[in-house]
Structure 1
Amino acid sequence: MALILCLETATKNCSVALSKDGAFLAAKEFAGENYSQAELLHTFIQNVLDEAGVKFADLAAVAVSAGPGSYTGLRIGVAAAKGLCYALSIPLISVSTLEVLATPKQLHSGYKVPMLDARRMEVYTAVYDANNQIIEPVSAKILDEHSFENFSETLVLFGDGATKCKELFAHRTNIIIDESLPYPSAKDMLALAHKRFTDGAFEDVAYFEPFYLKDFIAGGGK
């Protein structure tokens, strides 16, 4: 039995979920106007364990959203995950934040384009096919009217970075803006984390760092 605790803190959604052999057991999350991971994360972790009727000692691994995303949010999530892994002597699993965001979006054709807001007209993004295979790698992209012109296929843009694209891409018939999925959720990490667990794809707890993608600028970012 593999109980995996999943933490998603890369955006304004502070999200915690617990799985047993990849199946959902419990979850707790909150997305407000501001970042609230520092206040809510550890309470949510305890809430989820209590709801599922398990103890910290029962956990087989901790999975954390690795980024890109909010600098502060990522640091809080990774610090919590590493602390638990150290204390419990269990493995650490990391999952791409954009892959988590892309996972619940179902397409029959075309490509998924999850986007996380990186301020102004910049987004963290990648392109996935309908089976979640990477087509264009993760990048920090400054959007303009020529963005994604190399794609003739239908592109479905979603995430909190996609809302800024509505006017920019209004003339592009192959681009769809979907505002129904603004943030990644720990609930969508469960299967991804379980596969990495069964594959033995673990991080070095001592040296693992979030995938910030861009250098931190003091006083200028999240």
Structure 2
Amino acid sequence: MIWLGIDTANSPLSVAIVKDDVLLIEESSMMKVNHSLRAMPAVEEACRKASIMPYEIDAIAVSEGPGSYTGVRIGVTIAKTLAWTLDKPLYGVSSLKSLAMNGQFFYGLICPLIDARRSNVYSAVYRATSGDLAAVMEDQHCALEELLEKLKKLAEPVLFVGEDVKLHESVIRENLGDQVLFASFAMNVPRASSAIALAQLAEQAEKVHTFTPQYKRITEAEANLVKKESAHE
């Protein structure tokens, strides 16, 4: 079985092809590139290098968010278009859980983190289990201080994973002290092969037409509407 994996949920771009549980190719870049220009060519290049024709792909895995609004939307749009035109099953996986897979052999809590600006983050907390990750805290958009307070109460070692962790490292250290560990730069790169590995554990594929990104955050327009309705109550 041949899988195509796509992860454009944040600044990094990752594309992978796995055949019969063998990774044929994976190309990841931490460069802040324009996904609208680079994502589809990256998929085409991966297929060419792996000598795989698009029609040979059996299933597609995509990082569904949370993360960059534009990045998530581009990856999901490409995956849906390919799944529809090739008539292949589509599987969406959490971008945070996929990132957390980089720390799956850590004995303790694994906390993937993506910056959401204004001292907010997209994050979750997982614990490694046999072949998977169990959610201790579900994917969420929250204030960094709120996340750190919850982690402090758990009183367990925490491994932070993700390129954006360095933006908040001093605050994290200040709040968690010896409880915290930071992944190396090599472990902070999102991997499309991890998205594939998680998709293989899914019970069923997505409905392509109705599949939507999981932003975990309401839009500014929705937030303003909520404020307006609250003001009139």
- Out of 203, 206, 215, the residue aligned to residue 206 of structure 2 is 203
Query: How many angstroms apart in 2 are the aligned matches of 1:107 and 1:18?
Result: 23
Aligned to 1:160: 163
The runs of 5 or more residues in structure 2 that have no matched partner are 222-233
CA contact (8 A) 2:112 2:124 kept: yes
CA shift, 1:136, in A, is 1.1
Query: How many angstroms apart in 1 are the aligned matches of 2:26 and 2:178?
Result: 38
Query: What amino acid is aligned across from residue 135 of structure 1 in structure 2?
Result: V
> If each structure's helix is expressed as a fraction of its own residues, which one has the higher value?
2
Aligned to 1:86, the other structure's residue is in SS state helix
CA contact (8 A) 1:66 1:96 kept: yes
Aligned to 2:11: 12
- Out of 160, 163, 177, the residue aligned to residue 182 of structure 2 is 177
The runs of 5 or more residues in structure 1 that have no matched partner are none
TM-score (normalizing by structure 1): 0.89
Aligned to 1:148, the other structure's residue is in SS state helix
CA contact (8 A) 1:21 1:194 kept: no
Task: Say if 2:217 is the partner of 1:214.
Answer: yes
Query: What does 1:51-90 correspond to in 2, within 5 Å?
Result: 51-90=49-88
Query: How many angstroms apart in 2 are the aligned matches of 1:179 and 1:163?
Result: 11
TM-score (normalizing by structure 2): 0.85
CA contact (8 A) 2:102 2:188 kept: no
Superimposed CA distance per residue, residues 82-134 of structure 1 (whole angstroms, 9 cap, x where no aligned partner)? 11111111111111101110112144421101101111311111111132211
CA shift, 1:73, in A, is 0.7
Percent identity of paired positions between Structure 1 and Structure 2: 30
What is the total number of aligned residue pairs between the two structures?
213
Aligned to 2:29: 30
Change in CA separation of 1:39 and 1:108 when aligned onto 2, cut-off 3 Å: closer
Aligned to 1:133: 134
